Structure 1
Amino acid sequence: MEACVALLRREFPSIDVEVFDYVKGVLEGSSEEFQGWEDVFEAVGGFLQEGCEEARHPDDIQDVCQQLFDQLNVSGERVGQSSCTLLNTPIQLSDLARGLDVRRESGTTIMEVKKEPTMVNVKRLEKAEARLRVKQERRAERDCDTTPNFIISDQATASQAINKRESKLDASGKNKTYDVRLENFDLAFGERVLLCGADLLLVAGRRYGLVGRNGLGKTTLLKMISSGGLRIPSHMTVLHVEQEVAGDATLALASVLEADETRERLIALEREINAELSAGRVNGSESSQLALVYAKLEEIEADKAPARASVILAGLGFDPKMQQRPTREFSGGWRMRLALARALFSRPDLLLLDEPTNMLDVRAILWLENYLQTWPSTLLVVSHDRNFLNAVATDIVHLHSRRLDTYRGNFENFDKAKEEKLKSQQREYEAQQQYREHIQVFIDRFRCNANRAAQVQSKLKLLEKLPELKPIDKEQEVVIRLPDGFERLSPPVLQLDTVSFYYDPEKCIFNKINVSLDLESRVCIVGENGTGKTTLLKLLLGDLSPVSGIRHAHRNLKLGYFSQHHVDQLTMHLNAVQVLASHYPGSPEESYRQQLGRYGVSGELALRPVATLSGGQKSRVAFALITMASPNLYVLDEPTNHLDMETIEALGKSLCSFQGGVVLVSHDERLICTVCKELWVCGEGGVQRVNGGFQEYKGLLEEQFRKEGFI
């Protein structure tokens, strides 16, 4: 074995210490299993390639493995290489079976009956058993590393090829990297394969935006990372914001402070030690421990934590009074904001956000954009808001065709790079097709010519060696068609005349407002959460009756209302066709399928239970449902939640070409600027029109942030 060690030292002077010890252990424990140098190369070749700093050609590694195998043969450490003694006299096996002792003395064979059992060398036996245990453990570890790691969670499965070196360093506690490297992994949901042979590298400190069409597996990928289905370094802290905070008596500010477990643990320990000191049970160790606790609290700046938590809550829309309210008094949307605040406060090594802007108003989104631009650790966010990704992301991960492609830069850079890449791939594919056709023409022309047989064979081999390029798999364009063909109505078709409304007489939401709509209206309603945006929509719809004032509506007005909770109200166990049939019975199935097809829900997708659809696909079903009656005025409350960018673009184009009226509550800047001509701001008991549109409103918010010290 000394010769093998010397050979490794000579050939790999810069080899990693852990890798060297591991290779040495494999050679010692598994030498009996090696039948050729190929077995040695399979067992340790990969580690020798990765464990040294200088690059080595695979042929050099194979030569070293050949020398190692030869050294093991010479040293007699393999099966069949142990020393043997030649007998001068034949011995009958039957005599040995009867327990006779056979020995040679003075040329004569003497057989005696054994009177005592053979003594066993206990130390040798223990060493042999220890070597056997080590060999079995290493074999089990090797089998575990080479076997795909299948994890099942919520019907999702993931398999991942684990890097042996990182796995060993992780197990030994010496892995200090904060990069996340997922190599050659598969992801499936039920029988649907979402990713196949994908690779994902998340470099520490960078902010990644994950984009792709609805239903391709973005949310599933985040869940598998956070649940451990995909293996990342065990020392990293991972936080996935997906569930709202449970409501109890804990104050909102205290709930955020509790997210820092280290600070909470140190404060609890400080209280315990101080209680012991107050009771008179004092010793030197406790005093020194208290000093260490104070030093650690000062190191993590525990005294500044309440102020930092308060700033985060204020940025997300919690005023000082709300921060002192119990969490049980908040609605689901506000509890999701609390969950986001807890995540931002705790600062995990890897933060996973799934559509964080869905629960926020425009003001909170602008604050979050500015806050995440200085985020210190790694961020992976799923978002369909182009402006948000442009402001936050340093890299874009594109999920398509069951693989992941990473692009440097924000979304605008990604969009341009993706188009150039597709054009380049298309040109390369077309050029190769022309080259193949040219060669094939030559082959077909001279196939039967004996004088050209050698050239034909050469061309055939050339065709076989050409890499097989596939045509560009372009994503199908999303088209949304809103039905027209209704009669024109004279304005105003809908009007609120000096309307006042409140739930609590002491807190008036609207005080004598006057607004009107016609079939040419393109209005966007904005404002902070709680200022009455949804209430105004319900007053326009007639779902709420004014406390005072009058609502006027044209007798032929047909309203199409998309609620932000409309998706949750779909019957989940039915498929999309059955959902439409339950609301509008009497039509043939083909008409329902045609209606769903207008919103991208076609083929087998229309026959799958609604519960198995992604959030964006459910929204499309909801759009297909509300447009069945051909309304002439759409009232849309946060329609872009869960929609992918392509569907949002298609919705914007469809609303622009729609011949009726549109009232929109949204936080998507691109959709607002594309569709709306008027901007109504709710707040302070009224509705204010902003002449400069969304850009002026955004400027007012940024100016307010500067005054408050947020930016």
Structure 2
Amino acid sequence: MITLNDVTLRRGAKALLDSASVTVNPGERVGLVGRNGAGKTTLFALLDGSLHEDAGEFSRPAQWRLAQVVQEMPSTGQSATDFVIEGDTALLAAQEEVRLAEDDGDGERLAHAYMILHDAGAHDAQARAQALILGLGFKPTELNHPVDSFSGGWRMRLQLARALMCPSDLLLLDEPTNHLDLDALVWLESWLKRYEGTMLVISHDREFLDAVSTVTVHLDNGKLTRYGGNYSAFEELRAQQLELQQNAYHKQQDKIAHLQSFIARFKAKATKARQAQSRVKALERIERLAPILTSADFSFEFKEPANLPNPMLVMENACFGYPPPGEALAGTPPTVIVRQVNRSVLAGQRIGILGANGQGKSTLVKTITRVLACTSGTISEGKGLNIGYFAQQELDVLRPGESPLQHLVRLARESVSTGQSDREQDLRTFLGTFNFGGDMVRQTVGTMSGGEKARLVLCMLVWQRPNLLLLDEPTNHLDLATREALSMALNEFEGTVMLVSHDRSLLRSVCDEFWLIARGGVQDFAGDLDDYQRYLLDEARRNRDSLRESAKNAKNPLRRGSPASSAEKKLPHGNLKTLQRDQGSVEQRLLVLQAEQHSLEARLSASVPPQERGDVGRRLNQIAEELVNLEDRWLALADQIDAALRRIAS
């Protein structure tokens, strides 16, 4: 188990852990929660060994294998698949042992090395890596693309896949959902529920924490408090605990006030001096309870829109996509993702935009915000439409070299229609309501955290007094308190909201209808978010089956587009697990024989005594025959497994 006993951990002069104690048992899935800056990531650094306690005792089982997401952006020309496979440290060690055994020329060591290689999963490493990559939202055509060809967010997904690929007893995940769409998030939840080791996860997504955690550890004011249950259970227990503590504090204050009043009234009276002195001693013995001090909750509101056109938008035969890149391709048709959309957006609607990764959610939003143009068809805007846009990448609307004050000054000058003051003091006051005070108003955006950038975008949105809000993943860098504030502000907003988000709590609380973007079109989604999660899992299963069939056809072109052969139809059903176990046994025997064959051939190439040469030759012939039979058996089992998988899928 993991234990912290009176641990103090400092970063500079600040004690992020102050005599903190907690225990995490093997196999527990722990949600680590606390406000931004409380020290959660620093605690992870203690757990992974990159930091050491300044006082107290910390222990973690030495034999536990650790996996975590590396925070550095990967830069390599490796394919996505190869990059993720390298996350399997046990496989890399086994491959290195085979190389050393081959160099050593020791047949027995080589045979043993091949068995270790098999046990490490060499035979299905590529399939395991690609399943992780596809689950996290990549397209089948991207499996062999170079890592450097992907954007930053997608490369961080590959880092996550690499961490999941690593066999581990302890898994540390720091905000794993930040770069994920809802479809990838649903897949990750499903994967983590099957994880058998000990897991600690930092997240500001309450539904994700509820789904994957069984224990919650709260980091607050340098102390660690353990709660049984997921985040929702923690919230309820914490509220009850705070109420009890606050009641106890008020009762103690009443008692102290009563004692002080008695002492003040009677300390000068001789007849009451003894009693007054007794009260003084009683007052000194009281162990003072501290009042419950909680950080000021962040809140804001959208101002009433100047007008509410109805309809806000009308889309007629609208197609959404991207123009060809560059003037050189002027004659090339645009890339169309969503086709023939005929829809209206009305005043007061709350629309959640759903769709698997790559189906066109962000493309639709960017086209409505005029970042992209319709590839065909029209979007007609209501008179007085004022769009507030929260981009998934905050720097699409922020300038890294400018300060919050400069952003608001520029916005105030451009938005004269809002009728708001552009005086610097008024702008500073407004920024202060979003926690940009003091020197922060002149700090450059490029040096700010993701949460601070997101808060600045919200500040700019509120200033514009929009009547249509288009929000593309607004919660990526927001903590739970700010997410709650956003949810409350959106519910009180009198205009129209169109929201793309993987935060299901936000979608549930804000949206009363959903549009589904799928297979090149937009349609109403009649179900709720639970129905949508089932839809995503079904889509993922169909994609895996399609990929498996494509891989099979690539190996055997004669099978492409053809129905199952009569031989396949006659295959016994069998038990899939039994077939896979038999195939694994055959593979293991193949590896052992191949290692022995390699060793014997090496002996023959060296000086072997004449009396032994015949025995070596006969053994090599026996091995060759057995290898042929085993390879035939392996192929037969592979066909039976494919047939069984097709039956399961159908």
Instruction: Bin the TM-score by the shorter chain.
Output: 0.7 to 0.9
Alignment of 1:442-591 (within 5 A): 442-489=262-309, 491-503=310-322, 505=333, 508-567=336-395, 570-572=398-400, 575-584=403-412, 587-591=422-426
In 2, Cα distance between equivalents of 1:668 and 1:567: 21
* Equivalent in the alignment of 1:205: 27
Cα-to-partner distance string for 1:362-420 (whole Å, 9 max, x where unaligned): 12111111211232223221211111100111222223334332212101110110001
3-state SS of paired residue (1:358): coil
Q: Please, which of 338, 344, 360 is the counterpart of residue 180 of structure 2?
A: 360
Measure how far apart 1:706 and its partner are: 6.9
Cα-to-partner distance string for 1:18-71 (whole Å, 9 max, x where unaligned): xxxxxxxxxxxxxxxxxxxxxxxxxxxxxxxxxxxxxxxxxxxxxxxxxxxxxx
Give yes or no for the alignment of 1:629 onto 2:464: yes
- Residue type of the partner of 1:206? E
Measure how far apart 1:193 and its partner are: 5.7
Q: Please, which of 478, 484, 497 is the counterpart of residue 643 of structure 1?
A: 478
Q: Are 2:183 and 2:357, in contact at CA under 8 Å, matched by a contact in 1? A: no
In 2, Cα distance between equivalents of 1:198 and 1:592: 42
In 2, Cα distance between equivalents of 1:704 and 1:623: 34
Q: Are 1:242 and 1:354, in contact at CA under 8 Å, matched by a contact in 2? A: no
* Equivalent in the alignment of 1:184: 7
Q: 1:594 to 1:200 in 2, by over 3 A?
A: farther
In 1, Cα distance between equivalents of 2:272 and 2:321: 93
Q: Which runs of 5+ in 1 are unaligned?
A: 1-177
Measure how far apart 1:562 and its partner are: 0.8
Q: Please, which of 302, 305, 308 is the counterpart of residue 122 of structure 2?
A: 302
Measure how far apart 1:256 and its partner are: 1.4
Measure how far apart 1:556 and its partner are: 1.5
In 2, Cα distance between equivalents of 1:225 and 1:608: 33
3-state SS of paired residue (2:288): coil
Measure how far apart 1:481 and its partner are: 1.0
Measure how far apart 1:625 and its partner are: 1.8
Cα-to-partner distance string for 1:299-336 (whole Å, 9 max, x where unaligned): 43433433332332232223443323332332222211
Q: 1:583 to 1:219 in 2, by over 3 A?
A: farther
Alignment of 1:306-345 (within 5 A): 306-345=126-165
- Residue type of the partner of 1:203? N
Q: Please, which of 12, 26, 38 is the counterpart of residue 216 of structure 1?
A: 38
Choose between structure 1 and 2 for higher RCO, CA contacts under 8 A separated by at least 6 residues: 2
3-state SS of paired residue (1:627): helix
Give yes or no for the alignment of 1:664 onto 2:493: no
Q: Please, which of 609, 613, 618 is the counterpart of residue 453 of structure 2?
A: 618
Measure how far apart 1:502 and its partner are: 3.8
* Equivalent in the alignment of 1:687: 522
Measure how far apart 1:568 and its partner are: 7.1
Measure how far apart 1:607 and its partner are: 5.6
In 2, Cα distance between equivalents of 1:588 and 1:195: 43
* Equivalent in the alignment of 1:89: none
Q: Are 2:38 and 2:220, in contact at CA under 8 Å, matched by a contact in 1? A: yes
Measure how far apart 1:603 and its partner are: 5.5
In 1, Cα distance between equivalents of 2:470 and 2:13: 38
Tell me which moved more, 352-361 or 293-302.
293-302
- Residue type of the partner of 1:638? E
After superposition, the CA RMSD in angstroms is 2.9
Q: 1:567 to 1:351 in 2, by over 3 A?
A: farther
Q: 1:567 to 1:547 in 2, by over 3 A?
A: closer
Give yes or no for the alignment of 1:377 onto 2:197: yes
Q: Are 1:187 and 1:193, in contact at CA under 8 Å, matched by a contact in 2? A: yes
In 2, Cα distance between equivalents of 1:455 and 1:444: 12
In 1, Cα distance between equivalents of 2:472 and 2:215: 31
In 2, Cα distance between equivalents of 1:649 and 1:628: 20
In 1, Cα distance between equivalents of 2:461 and 2:204: 23
In 1, Cα distance between equivalents of 2:146 and 2:298: 44
3-state SS of paired residue (1:524): strand
Measure how far apart 1:632 and its partner are: 1.3
In 1, Cα distance between equivalents of 2:410 and 2:222: 35
* Equivalent in the alignment of 1:101: none
Measure how far apart 1:702 and its partner are: 4.1
Measure how far apart 1:645 and its partner are: 1.5
3-state SS of paired residue (2:218): strand
* Equivalent in the alignment of 1:700: 535
Alignment of 1:406-425 (within 5 A): 406-425=226-245
Size of the alignment, in residue pairs? 524
* Equivalent in the alignment of 1:230: 52
Cα-to-partner distance string for 1:500-521 (whole Å, 9 max, x where unaligned): 2444759631221223213212
Larger Rg: 1
Q: 1:616 to 1:216 in 2, by over 3 A?
A: farther
Q: Are 2:66 and 2:168, in contact at CA under 8 Å, matched by a contact in 1? A: yes
- Residue type of the partner of 2:338? F
Alignment of 1:93-172 (within 5 A): none
**TM-score, with length taken from structure 2:** 0.74
**TM-score, with length taken from structure 1:** 0.68
* Equivalent in the alignment of 1:76: none
Tell me which moved more, 634-643 or 512-521.
512-521
Q: 1:300 to 1:385 in 2, by over 3 A?
A: same
Q: 1:379 to 1:674 in 2, by over 3 A?
A: same
Q: Are 2:471 and 2:498, in contact at CA under 8 Å, matched by a contact in 1? A: yes
In 1, Cα distance between equivalents of 2:501 and 2:315: 21
Q: Which runs of 5+ in 2 are unaligned?
A: 54-58, 325-332, 414-420, 546-647
